[in-house]
Amino acid sequence: MIPTPHVLILAALLFGLGLVGVVLRRNVLIVLMSVELMLNAVNLTLVGFARGRGEMAGQGFTFLIIALAAAEAAVGLAIVVAIFRSRRTVNVDEVNLMKH
Amino acid sequence: MLLPAVSAGDVVQMNQDCAMPPTALAAAGPPPPGGWYRSRSSAGLRSLFARVARRRRCDAARRSLLTSGAVLVPWLAPALASAAGSSAAAGPTGTPVGGALITFYVFGALALAGAILTITRKNPVSAALFLVLTLVSTGGIYLALHASFLAAIQVLVYAGAIMVLFIFVVMSVGKPDDRESVSLLAAWPTKLLGLLAIGALVFRIAMVVGQPNFAAAGPVAAQYGSVEQMGRLLFSDYLFPFEAISILLLVAIVGAVMVTRRPAVEASEGEAQR
């Protein structure tokens, strides 16, 4: 038996690491990967709760979130490719056309 | 039983262990007159470069060891303790009780290591491959949590399709960004605020998790998490979200194609040049 708090702590650590990646990294590809990491941590929380309560609802949510992550990755990476074509950069600090 | 947090004592101890002993500095010898940077002789320059390169390699290895060790050691210690304690005891059906727990801790440690390496690698290809490690480990944890269908979906969709998409884009646009290490301190007040917010969030989660009102996970039915149960759930209770997410996927595909399409003017110019 896996205690639910252990799953939650692992998920919180993974979520925190993903958040650190989003805040600290400037390469937009790694920022997107960190977002995937955070989504993954949330999925782990949902599956942990589903197991703890013996219900299937959390697993249904997780299934939907995985499909959502696929859509998010497709659109996000398409935007990255479009930005790279026009600006020749993947650094999020250099994509500041709206600023000036 | 809760996991101990990373104590400050561990980190300090590791810092002291990793500190360069004073004898190593003494063995480097006194600097030439005028200091290392002023020395004109090529031998002096070469030894300086070698020393700097060695120092840099050492520092990088030491830092990554320190960060992963500081997280992994407190994480694994109770795992090994409980594994040693519970693997001897057998459940009523004769299967060892600690099997799922050992699986969880091993894959959890792998997932944490992969996550740390994902956000610290400079090369996006390495980061993507370590993210694959994290995602596959999460699939293993799903198996330990009796979510077998989700484990298969995790490996197929997440570690398969999504990461292949990432690798494709990384290969076509991404080169290691040399300026990134410099810009780590740029806009530091914003980053400090972000890190403080992360600390507050993790602290809050830890407080909630520490409360004892989580019921112990009891045994579940043999069919729990199977394809059949997931299908019944998705096509009865969650029929509308299921259909909505399929429309969302369609919209995302069309949107991705539209965003990456070359502008019509540019395309016609390309044809004219040909």
pLDDT at site B187: 67
Q: What is the pTM of this model?
A: 0.70
Residues 6+ apart with CB under 8 A from B112: A10, A13, A14, A17, B68, B71, B72, B75
Is the Cβ pair A34, B3 closer than 8 Å? Answer: no
Give the gap in angstroms from C-alpha B21 to the nearest C-alpha of chain A: 31
The backbone torsions φ and ψ at residue A36, rounded to the nearest 5 degrees and listed phi first, read -60, -40
Is the Cβ pair A20, B253 closer than 8 Å? Answer: no
Give the gap in angstroms from C-alpha A99 to the nearest C-alpha of chain B: 15
Is the Cβ pair A52, B179 closer than 8 Å? Answer: no
This model of the complex carries an ipTM of 0.94
Look up residue B186 and give its amino acid. Answer: A
Contact B132, B166 (CB under 8 A): no
Which residue's entry shows tokens 């002291």?
B16
Mean pLDDT check: name the lowest of B110-114, B237-241, B262-266: B262-266
Enumerate the β-bridge partners of residue B90: B96
Is the Cβ pair A77, B249 closer than 8 Å? Answer: no
Give the gap in angstroms from C-alpha A74 to the nearest C-alpha of chain B: 6
Whether the predicted pLDDT of B96 surpasses 50 = no
Segment (H or E) for A48: helix A28-53
Q: Is B229 exposed, middle or buried (0-12, 13-18, 19+ CB in 10 A)?
A: middle
Q: Is A6 on the interface with B (CB under 8 A)?
A: yes
d(CA B159, CA B164): 8
Which residue's entry shows tokens 């782990």?
A44
- Nearest-CA neighbor of B65 among B133, B182, B181, B57? B57
d(CA B228, CA B29): 72
Contact B105, B79 (CB under 8 A): yes
d(CA B26, CA B171): 46
Is the Cβ pair A26, B97 closer than 8 Å? Answer: no
Residue B6 pLDDT class (50, 70, 90 cuts) = very low
Whether the predicted pLDDT of B93 surpasses 50 = no
DSSP string, B191-255: HHHHHHHHHHHHHHHHHHHHSS-SPPP----TTTT-HHHHHHHHHTTTHHHHHHHHHHHHHHHHH
Is the Cβ pair B150, A62 closer than 8 Å? Answer: yes
Look at residue A62 and give its three-state secondary structure: helix
B124 → chain A, closest CA residue: A30
Contact A70, B161 (CB under 8 A): yes
Nearest CB to A59: which of B3, B157, B225?
B225
- Nearest-CA neighbor of B140 among A2, A9, A12? A2
pLDDT (tens digit per residue) in A40-94 = 999 999 999 898 888 889 999 999 999 999 999 999 999 999 988 888 888 887 8
Mean pLDDT check: name the lowest of A17-26, B83-92, B150-159: B83-92
Is the Cβ pair B149, A62 closer than 8 Å? Answer: no
Contact B163, A70 (CB under 8 A): no
DSSP string, chain B: --PPP--HHHHHHHHHHHSPPHHHHHHT-PPPTT-GGG--SHHHHHHHHHHHHHHHHHHHHHHHHHHHHHHHHHHHHHHHHHHHHHTTSB-TTSSBTTHHHHHHHHHHHHHHHHHHHHHH-SSHHHHHHHHHHHHHHHHHHHHHTT-HHHHHHIIIIIIIIIHHHHHHHHHHH----TTTTGGGSTTHHHHHHHHHHHHHHHHHHHHHHHSS-SPPP----TTTT-HHHHHHHHHTTTHHHHHHHHHHHHHHHHHHHHHHSPPHHHHHHHHHH-
Give the gap in angstroms from C-alpha B87 to the nearest C-alpha of chain A: 12
On chain B, the residues whose CB falls within 8 A of the CB of A99 are none
Give the gap in angstroms from C-alpha A97 to the nearest C-alpha of chain B: 18
Look up residue A44 and give its amino acid. Answer: L
Look at residue A41 and give its three-state secondary structure: helix
A26 → chain B, closest CA residue: B180
The backbone torsions φ and ψ at residue B35, rounded to the nearest 5 degrees and listed phi first, read 85, 170
pLDDT (tens digit per residue) in B126-142 = 999 999 999 999 999 99
Residues 6+ apart with CB under 8 A from A82: B259, B260
Nearest CB to A47: which of B150, B186, B242?
B150
On chain A, the residues whose CB falls within 8 A of the CB of B182 are none
Q: Is B3 on the interface with A (CB under 8 A)?
A: yes
Contact B51, B28 (CB under 8 A): yes
DSSP state of A5: H
pLDDT (tens digit per residue) in B105-128 = 999 999 999 999 999 888 889 999
